[in-house]
Amino acid sequence: MKLSILDQSPIAKGRTAKDALNETEELANLAERWGFHRFWVSEHHDSGALAGTSPEILLARLGAKTSTIRIGSGGVMLPHYSPFKTAENFRMLEALYPGRVDLGIGRAPGGMPVASWALSEGRPRNASRFPQQVDHLLMYLRDQADETHPYPNVQAGPVIDTVPPVWILGSSPGSAALAAEKGLPYTFAHFINGDGGRDYMAEYLTGFTPGVQAEKPQNMAAVFVVCADTEAKAEYIAKSFDLSLLMLLKGEKSSGTPSPSEAEKIELSNFEAEQIKENRKRMIVGTPDLVREQLQQFAADYQTDEVMIVTITYDQDDRFRSYELIQSLGLHEKRSPDS
């Protein structure tokens, strides 16, 4: 099994976005040392809890600070942008770090509606364009724009001899079907949607049509994980994220990931307690032995040999320790420098 990391640059309550970005850089270096396969960063807007707004810029920094681990976007929210500019951004990254860059794309807004309006300067966001945008992006990346393309004579620079692979990211049957139709790798965000993903992945695998990038399907699934030395410690740490997800559901503006001690003091209604239980479907929480067992089952359920891990904690040391314990489980195949 390959193990990878999606880091959302979480901001702990009382700390700053700059702190979170520095932690992302430190974690990328540790992930490379520990042998994780990929290190992806996300795109979120107008968030007090997550600092990653521009994966392209952050990847430029991470590429310079690492040497072998694959780096990528998890992902660029393509409906906000032009495929041409996205192709240029990732051709630039590929030119700087050849053979190490992944271009993960999605159609989600990555924030509340007001942020989408601000990104488009008031123009309506049209996610229905996404399939066509994917086609145009692939054409620009591969210099294959033809008469079907609105701008057949323009070339995305810099002109290079390698192509960053495009991944479709999603949490719905539509994204799985699109990835299968376009012949692209697919990542299911189980950490966003804990229901239906196994069926959607099965449909992707059976419906895959070879495309310009791949002859056979390539798939991955991403899940929240908190691993600690004891079950009590893991459960205590996870209380922070339980509360964060609950606040998000209630539409409350976040000032950062709360501490476990703050979360423990909250008196939960029956509805809130049930919602936390429901959210735990998106998480794996426990000791190394339990996490090993559940990651193996998770990979089997999703018919994949690669799992991407998302860990958000209040304390940086707890987050880093969780990843350190996971890498010590002996689950993942060691990454070679040219893989």
Query: What span, in angstroms and rounded, lies between the C-alpha atoms of 256 and 49?
Result: 4
pLDDT digits (tens, 9 = 90+) for 219-253: 999 999 999 999 999 999 999 999 999 998 888 88
Q: Residue 33 has what DSSP assignment?
A: H
Q: Tell me, yes or no, whether 64 lies in a domain.
A: yes
Q: Tell me, yes or no, whether 281 lies in a domain.
A: no
Query: What percent of the chain is modeled with pLDDT above 90?
Result: 85
**What is the average per-residue pLDDT within 26-33?**
98
Question: How many structural domains is the chain composed of?
Answer: 1
Query: What span, in angstroms and rounded, lies between the C-alpha atoms of 108 and 89?
Result: 20
Half-sphere exposure of 183 (CA within 13 A, CB side): 10
Question: Looking at residue 147, which CATH number applies to its domain?
Answer: 3.20.20.30
Q: Which two tokens stand for residue 129?
A: 């364009």
At residue 53, the 3 state secondary structure works out as coil
- The rounded Cα 288 to chain-centroid distance in angstroms is 23
Instruction: Report yes or no: 48 and 255 within 8 Å, Cβ to Cβ.
Output: yes
What residue type is 37 in one-letter code? H
Closest to 83 in 3D by CA, of 21, 23, 156: 156
Residue 66 phi/psi, 5° resolution?
Answer: -125, 175
Q: Tell me, yes or no, whether 277 lies in a domain.
A: no
38-41 and 219-227 beta bridge pairing: unpaired
Q: Tell me, yes or no, whether 273 lies in a domain.
A: no
* Whether pTM exceeds 0.75: yes
**What is the average per-residue pLDDT within 186-201?**
97
Q: Tell me, yes or no, whether 338 lies in a domain.
A: no
Burial of 221 (0-12, 13-18, 19+ CB in 10 A): buried
Q: Tell me, yes or no, whether 256 lies in a domain.
A: no
Instruction: Report yes or no: 297 and 221 within 8 Å, Cβ to Cβ.
Output: no
pLDDT value of position 333 = 62
Residue 303 sits at the vertex; the CA angle it makes with 300 and 305, to the nearest 5 degrees, is 85
Answer whether the bond into residue 131 is a cis peptide, omega within 30°.
Answer: no
pLDDT digits (tens, 9 = 90+) for 296-310: 999 999 999 999 999
pLDDT digits (tens, 9 = 90+) for 51-92: 999 999 999 999 999 999 999 999 999 999 999 999 999 999
Q: Tell me, yes or no, whether 332 lies in a domain.
A: no
Q: Round to the nearest angstrom and report the end-to-end CA distance of the chain.
A: 14
Closest to 173 in 3D by CA, of 142, 195, 157: 195
Q: Tell me, yes or no, whether 255 lies in a domain.
A: no
pLDDT tier at 339 (50, 70, 90 boundaries)?
Answer: very low
Please name the residues in contact with 293: beta carbons below 8 A apart, sequence gap of 6 or more.
Answer: none
What residue type is 142 in one-letter code? R
Range of the domain at 8: 2-230+288-327
